[in-house]
C-alpha cells in the first residue's frame, strides 16, 4: 500500500476534521521536500533539481 493511498484512506476514515488532517499531511510533504532539496544542494554543489 502506497503512502498516498494510506493517507487518503486515513482522511476518509477520519470522520472528524479532515481539513486539519490534510493540513498536517501537506505540512509533512512540504517539510520532506524542503529537507530533500536542502540535502541535495549540500551534496550536489548547490544546484537544485528541476521540478
Note the pLDDT tens digit of each residue in 7-33. Answer: 777 766 665 555 666 778 888 888 888
Closest by Cα among 45, 7, 13 to 27: 7
Query: Residue 10: which residues within 8 A CB-CB, separation 6 or more?
Result: 21
Helix axis angle, 3-13 to 18-44, nearest 10°: 160
The residue behind cell 500500500 is 1
* Residue closest to 3 by CA, chosen among 24, 25, 19: 25
pLDDT of residue 46: 54
> Which pLDDT score is estimated for 4?
81
pTM of the model: 0.35
Amino acid at each position: 500500500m502506497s503512502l498516498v493511498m494510506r493517507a487518503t484512506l486515513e482522511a476518509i476514515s477520519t470522520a472528524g476534521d479532515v481539513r486539519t488532517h490534510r493540513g498536517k499531511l501537506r505540512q509533512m510533504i512540504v517539510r520532506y521536500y524542503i529537507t530533500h532539496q536542502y540535502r541535495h544542494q549540500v551534496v550536489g554543489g548547490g544546484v537544485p533539481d528541476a521540478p
